[in-house]
Structure 1
Amino acid sequence: MIQRLPVTQGLQALLASLTGRPVGLRSVPLDSKGAPLPPPYTLLYPLDRTDDTATLADNQRAAVLDYQATFVSGPTPGVPNSRGGDEQAQWLADRGWKVVERPADGSPGYTNALSVGPGVHCWRREAREAGGTSDQNDAIITSVIRYRLFLEEQPAG
């Protein structure tokens, strides 16, 4: 059975690499002292999991995992009365789309590697924009992408 935690950690690391900003798992990312980091950052939420491959020979060696990434803009640190904006949220989301980016030369696979644990291969990735939110009171605007990862255990050999 495919373990979710290594997949989640792999997607979290990939999003942090692509955006150059911290990624919190289900909560605001923290600094080395445990204090919340200011936006911009990404919040990653594990969602649904399906282990049934819908085949007669289903051997429980595959899984489909869904995630939501919420890209959070925010005020510029040290700038009074600054606000997070749509441009910042979309900039982060544009980098988040690189999770499903294919090589420009048409070769198979994905441009950016996703480490999902030993013996597991992510053979397909999907993404869809799921909207966003804005809250003028908090000066925060978000953009949301939902990812679906298709995984399969590789036979030992």
Structure 2
Amino acid sequence: MIDRLPVTDGLVQLLETVTGRPVGRRTVPLDAQGRAVTPPYTILYPLERVDDTNTLADDQRATVLDYQATFISGPTPRDPDSRGGDEQAQWLTDRGWKVVERHADGRPGYMHPINVGPGVVCWRREAREAGGMSDPNDAIINSVIRYRLFLEEQPGG
């Protein structure tokens, strides 16, 4: 059985790499002093998990994990008149799409590797944009991508 935590850790690291911004797990990310960071940032939510391939030959080595990444824009720190904007939210979301970016030369695999733990390979990734919303009271606009990761334990792994 594939543990979720190493996969979540790998996806957090990948999102931090491709966005250049902090990622929180189910909550606002914290800085080194334990304080909430200011936007822009991403919040990653683990969603569904499926461990059955629905085949007669199912050897229980495959798992499909779904995640939601919420990309949060926000006001400029120390500027009380600033607002998070659509441009900032789309900029961050565009970087989030790099999770499923393929090689331009047609080579197999993905541009940006994901470390999902020893003996496990993520052989397929899917993403779909699921909208977003704004909260004018908080001056925050967000956008959402839902990822689906197809994983398999390697024999002897």
What interval of TM-score do these two structures reach, taking the shorter chain for normalisation? over 0.9
For each residue in 1:27-48, what CA deviation from the matched residue of structure 2 results, as whole angstroms up to 9, or x when unmatched?
Answer: 0001111111111100000000
CA distance in 1, matches of 2:79, 2:139: 13
The corresponding residue for 2:133 is 133
CA distance in 2, matches of 1:69, 1:135: 18
Amino acid paired to 1:153: E
Counterpart check, 1:104 vs 2:96: no
Q: Secondary structure at the match of 2:64?
A: strand
Pairs within 5 Å for 1:1-157: 1-156=1-156
State the 4+ residue runs in structure 1 displaced beyond 6 angstroms. Answer: none
- Offset, 1:156: 1.1
CA distance in 1, matches of 2:39, 2:78: 12
Q: Secondary structure at the match of 1:116?
A: coil
Larger mean Cα displacement after TM superposition, 40-49 or 50-59? 50-59
- Offset, 1:55: 1.1
- Offset, 1:80: 2.3
Q: CA RMSD in A?
A: 0.8
Amino acid paired to 1:138: D
CA distance in 2, matches of 1:141, 1:113: 29
Q: Secondary structure at the match of 2:79?
A: coil
Aligned residues: 157
Structure 1, unmatched stretches of 5+, are none
CA distance in 2, matches of 1:108, 1:19: 23
Structure 2, unmatched stretches of 5+, are none
Larger mean Cα displacement after TM superposition, 63-72 or 33-42? 33-42
CA distance in 1, matches of 2:148, 2:54: 17
